[in-house]
Structure 1
Amino acid sequence: MSFNQTQKYLATVNGSSSPGSSFSGSSPFGGASNNNARPLPGINLDEEIRLTTNNRERAQMDNMADLYSIIVVLEHLELAYIRSSITHTEYTPACRQLIAQFRTASSLLGEVVPDLEKFMKEYNLNCPAAAKRIKIGVPATVEFGDGVSNEANGHRTAKYVAETVQSYITVVDVLKLGMAAVDQIHPLLADLMQSLNNVRSLPADFEGRAKVREWLIKLNSMKASEELNAEEKRQLEFDLESNYTAFRGWLDNQ
């Protein structure tokens, strides 16, 4: 039966005066009829709906799907580590890889996904642990340490103290040389945070650790190619030198 024939049949059943006029009353299929429910000419309900119309849109959709899956996987990884389902040696490299993948995927999307929180809200992603890890940009083992004691080994403790001193000096020297790009400074600050956490006897409220964390979050919110302005660079250098002095003062009192 053609579309026109179907209209005529329904019009006859419902007592409508003409095939093209609207009709009311009960549908022959039961229940009240709905004008909006009638099939429209030229539309095939079995036809696949395409979300994209060209290769550029298809690539963008694929990148958004990758971003979504990375966030979900990172959430599961964080929860697995919190619940001790995996060890720190398994967690750390996997987390680093996912953070790097997130940065790559988000850079490909550019202005399409300018804000992580908006992206997660738009697609109903409830992944607070992943969002926090992405915000700081380093694994929890770097932010807080891996929880493995090394104080029994005096040689190893001395090694970590030396590494911390070297990390402070390296970052300050890089800033003095005029380097201010995010991708130049962020890895060095992450190494400094790791070194500070390796020194187990360092007080938990040591201000230097909190300051480094603040700068990691700030840098991670910027693009890799962006640079700190003169004021930000000067403030970072001041914070690091102040914290290094405090760290040396703590060592002298040991």
Structure 2
Amino acid sequence: MYGNRQLAYAPTPYVPRSALSATINLDEEVKLATTSSERDLYDSLAEIYSIIITLDALEKGYLKDSIPEGDYTETCSRLLKQYKSNLADETVAKAFGDLESFKREWDMECPRATERLRIGIPATVEQGPSQKATQQGDSADATLVVNATENFITLLDAIKIGLVEKDTLHPLLVEIIQAVNKVTDKDFESKGKIVQWLITLNQMRAADKLNDDQAREFQFDMEQAYYGFKGTLKRD
């Protein structure tokens, strides 16, 4: 009875077809980029990734006091410079986006590197060296005091004549924080403002400039920091 019953469908026999055969050579290298510009972009992004990882390890080593201050400062400065140099390319900067989005995309947890990149200068520059070998007794070397004073005056003069571009102000501000830290490790009025403005300027592009309100506030803060610095010297 069941032997003569027809199936509701006709099974299709499997027939191998050449069109379904593998077309990928498993021994062939897979290329992420097909043009030189794409390769350059990926190389730059990979270098930025490496810089962030390396910088985070460097910061951890410095905090554990496992690396000399001089070596830390030199290495950190070089990494920060390389980071900025890569992002100076508009194509790379566009693909990079910003630090937080880049970290999310590549699942990176680098809090120490993030903070150092935000500030833009080594911790030894921001906070000053732990030892004041240039001091004699309780009095700072007169040459260092003069140098710090001249740096303040140069910066304030630049603001007064309208030089408020990031690429002008940021280097001058770095020189100031370095100079005052060589003179004294004491906090003084508005010293924190110097670091705050360093962070603000560090987030700007080289050609960006402060607007009128920012320039006025910046000048006021730097004048207060200068007076605070001089007040510290009087107390010493």
TM-score band, normalised by shorter chain = 0.7 to 0.9
The residue that corresponds to 2:46 in the other structure is 65
CA offsets, 1:15-54, max 9 Å, x none?
x921469xxxxxxxxxxxxxxxxx9555326143322222
Find out whether 1:200 has 2:184 as its counterpart: yes
2:107 partner amino acid: N
CA offsets, 1:35-77, max 9 Å, x none?
xxxx955532614332222222111111101111111111122
Sort the Cα spacing of 1:19 and 1:168 in 2 relative to 1 into closer, same or farther, 3 A: farther
CA offsets, 1:217-248, max 9 Å, x none?
01111111211122211211111112212222
TM-score with structure 2 setting the length: 0.84
Q: CA deviation at 1:106?
A: 1.5
The residue that corresponds to 2:208 in the other structure is 226
**CA distance in structure 2 between the partners assigned to 1:140 and 1:159 by the alignment:** 24
Map residues 63-142 of structure 1 onto 2, 5 A cutoff. Answer: 63-108=44-89, 109-142=92-125
Higher RCO (CA-CA < 8 Å; seq separation 6+): 2
Sort the Cα spacing of 1:62 and 1:154 in 2 relative to 1 into closer, same or farther, 3 A: same
TM-score with structure 1 setting the length: 0.78
The residue that corresponds to 1:162 in the other structure is 146
Aligned partner of 1:241 among 205, 223, 229: 223
Task: Give the aligned length.
Answer: 220
Alignment partner of 2:141: what SS?
helix
Aligned partner of 2:159 among 175, 178, 202: 175
Q: CA deviation at 1:132?
A: 0.9
Q: CA deviation at 1:116?
A: 0.9
Conserved? CA contact 1:196–1:209, under 8 Å: no
**Deviating more after overlay: 78-87 vs 136-145:** 78-87
1:18 partner amino acid: T
Map residues 10-89 of structure 1 onto 2, 5 A cutoff. Answer: 17-19=11-13, 41=21, 43-44=23-24, 46=26, 47-89=28-70
**CA distance in structure 2 between the partners assigned to 1:40 and 1:156 by the alignment:** 81
The share of aligned pairs that are identical, in percent, is 35
Find out whether 1:191 has 2:185 as its counterpart: no
The residue that corresponds to 1:30 in the other structure is none
Structure 2 portions without partners, runs of 5+: 1-9
Sort the Cα spacing of 1:148 and 1:253 in 2 relative to 1 into closer, same or farther, 3 A: closer
Sort the Cα spacing of 1:152 and 1:67 in 2 relative to 1 into closer, same or farther, 3 A: same
CA offsets, 1:145-187, max 9 Å, x none?
1101344446653333222222211111111121122111111
**Deviating more after overlay: 190-199 vs 58-67:** 190-199
Sort the Cα spacing of 1:75 and 1:201 in 2 relative to 1 into closer, same or farther, 3 A: closer
Conserved? CA contact 2:189–2:229, under 8 Å: no
**CA distance in structure 2 between the partners assigned to 1:66 and 1:40 by the alignment:** 40
**CA distance in structure 2 between the partners assigned to 1:20 and 1:216 by the alignment:** 71
Q: CA RMSD in A?
A: 2.3
1:96 partner amino acid: S
The residue that corresponds to 2:6 in the other structure is none
1:239 partner amino acid: D
Sort the Cα spacing of 1:40 and 1:210 in 2 relative to 1 into closer, same or farther, 3 A: farther
The residue that corresponds to 2:5 in the other structure is none
Alignment partner of 2:88: what SS?
helix
